[in-house]
Amino acid sequence: MPLPFRPNCLPAALGVMPHLTTRVAWEACIQYLPALLPVPLLTSEGEDPATVAIDGFPGATIALDQFRFDRKAAAAALDRLYAAYLRHRWDTRALSLQALDSWARHETEIRRADAVVTVLMGPISAALRLVDDQTLPVLGDELVLDALAKHLALRMQWHQMTVGRSARVLLQWLYEPYLDIVGSPFSPVTWPIARHLLEEAFSSGYPMGEGAPQSVRGVWASETVDVPSLLEGTLVEALGLPLPAPAALQAWAPALQDFVRRKGVIGWGIVPQTVDGLTHARVGRVAARFTSMLGILEAMGLTTGEIIAASMIMPEGTLGHLYPSEADAVLAITQQVSGLLRHSYGLD
Which pLDDT does position 203 carry in this prediction? 82
Q: What is the mean pLDDT of residues 37-46?
A: 96
Residue 175 maps to a domain: yes
Residue 1 maps to a domain: no
Whether the predicted pLDDT of 271 surpasses 70: yes
Residue 131 maps to a domain: yes
Three-class SS string for 16-81?
A: EECCCCHHHHHHHHHHHCCCEEECCEEHHHCCCHHHHHHCCCCCEEEECCEEEECHHHHHCCHHHH
For 188, other C-beta atoms within 10 Å of its C-beta total 13
Span 101-127, pLDDT tens digits: 989 999 999 999 999 999 999 999 999
Domain that holds residue 254: 10-344
CATH number at residue 266: 3.20.20.210
Task: Output phi, psi for 267, to 5 deg.
Answer: -95, 110
Whether the predicted pLDDT of 217 surpasses 90: yes
Percentage of the chain beyond pLDDT 90 is 84
Which pLDDT does position 212 carry in this prediction? 59
Number of domains in the chain: 1
Residue 113 maps to a domain: yes
Q: How far apart are CA 22 and CA 45, in angstroms?
A: 10
DSSP-based three-state secondary structure for 348:
coil
Phi-psi region of 301 (alpha: psi -120 to 50; beta: other; left: phi over 0): left
Which pLDDT does position 303 carry in this prediction? 94
Q: How far apart are CA 100 and CA 105, in angstroms?
A: 10
Which pLDDT does position 213 carry in this prediction? 66
The answer to whether 43 and 19 have CB atoms below 8 angstroms apart is: no
Residue 2 maps to a domain: no
Residue 129 maps to a domain: yes
Q: How far apart are CA 15 and CA 20, in angstroms?
A: 14
Span 282-299, pLDDT tens digits: 999 999 999 999 999 999
Span 133-183, pLDDT tens digits: 888 999 999 999 999 999 999 999 999 999 988 899 999 999 999 999 998
pTM score, two decimals? 0.95
Cβ neighbours of residue 110 under 8 Å, at least 6 residues apart? Answer: 37, 103, 116, 166, 167
Whether the predicted pLDDT of 206 surpasses 50: no
Q: How far apart are CA 34 and CA 125, in angstroms?
A: 29
Which pLDDT does position 1 carry in this prediction? 87
